[in-house]
Structure 1
Amino acid sequence: MPNAGKDLQSPASAAEVDAFLRQVAQTPARPSGGTRGRLIFAMDATASREPTWDQAAHIQASMFAETRDLGGLEVQLCHYGGFHLFEASPWCVSADELLPRMTRVRCAAGLTQIGRLLAHAADEAARKPVDALVFVGDCVEESLDGLADRAGKLGLLGVPVFVFQEGRDPTAERALREIARLSGGAWCPFDAGSPQVLKDLLGAVAVFAAGGRKALADFSRRRGGAVLQLTRQLGQGR
């Protein structure tokens, strides 16, 4: 459960969004080969996330639309909540497959299981390459040392973790920033009042996973706003 003093009214600053996009741009592009990008989309489904769960379900559906013309995206939904509940869906290739799985989830009180999530992502990547792990959550109740070790292993496997933190709980922020850094990913905060920013940034990660840097540059020019900052940060695309 998050700390009572968590500030839910602190949206990402322009500098934080810029730093996130810069890190996405610096992440090594996956090798080309005409295959779908593979992305694990993981969410904290403990009780504190219930107010924004439906919003996140709608946002994740847009990731498929953004990548449709790039050869598509395979997405696996992971979530934890309640008493030691952790679930991972089959790999899905359309929002129609994944969205019903999200709408069946009910948030329930419980402790975070981020370490279990990171270990699962490593197991998946060992079987078949995974281009990125996206995590949306608001608190951390686990040992930072253990999380750091597992995040570092994901970095060695080439699986960057892109973390979207709801609110600004300082304990969670320290841990989530470290997970992103050690895995070669990026961290960015968001608040419930700025769903379009989260949608655009998730779209940027999905496009990167599906099509690499060139596709991300094209996406940023079309989308404008915060994502437009990518155009001056990207190197040569694949």
Structure 2
Amino acid sequence: MKRILSYLLVIFAVSISKLNAQSQNVKITVGSSEFIATLENNPTSAAFVQLLPLTINMSELGGVEKYFYFPSGTTLPTNATNPGTIQTGDLTLYGNNCLVLFYQTFPTSVSYTKIGKINNVTGLTAALGSGSVSVSYELLDPTMGVSDLDVKNNLFQVTPNPATENFRVTGSDFTSLSLLDMNGKVLLQSKENKVDTSNIPAGVYFIKIDADKHSTVSKKVIIKSK
């Protein structure tokens, strides 16, 4: 009987551990684009979760980050270290009251406390743009095995990619698309799922796909010269 009870306690502990790990996922919404970030297992992230849901206006700094100072009296625990290199999608705390979301990768000598990291940064730079932007943070349901965002992204494909003369977006419920450069500037909009790229300079671009039932999905496309 004791062995069975011990076994059940172990199973219960493992289940709780998995649930806690799953609960540390945050949906970050910028306009109609959504991103999923996995949080660090530390006191700073735990304190950040207590502030959610949260919608804030984040300011631009240096073409690499968006930042927001919490109101006076709101501080988070710190354990700042110098990461050496900032990665696109890093969500950090500067000092004890400044939330920072990075959208570029670069070396740094500044120390930050880690909060989390966006899992798939495709479309992040375009979504954040070059100025101040409203960003929402929301804790995801811990029972979700796969995020709705992942499901939506898998509903659409861009082919060929890289593209030289044109590309086509395939998927159900397609209504329109926008092609954006790396700075978030809209280059063209179309209700057709096939786009002529012959006059577009070579480079990396983002496609925002509007769909009837799935809001907006972001995809990356590489355009090459002939």
Calculate the TM-score normalised by the size of structure 1.
0.23
Q: 1 or 2, which has the higher helix percentage? A: 1
Higher relative contact order (CA 8 A, sep 6+): 1
Q: Which has the larger radius of gyration?
A: 2
Q: 1 or 2, which has the higher strand percentage? A: 2
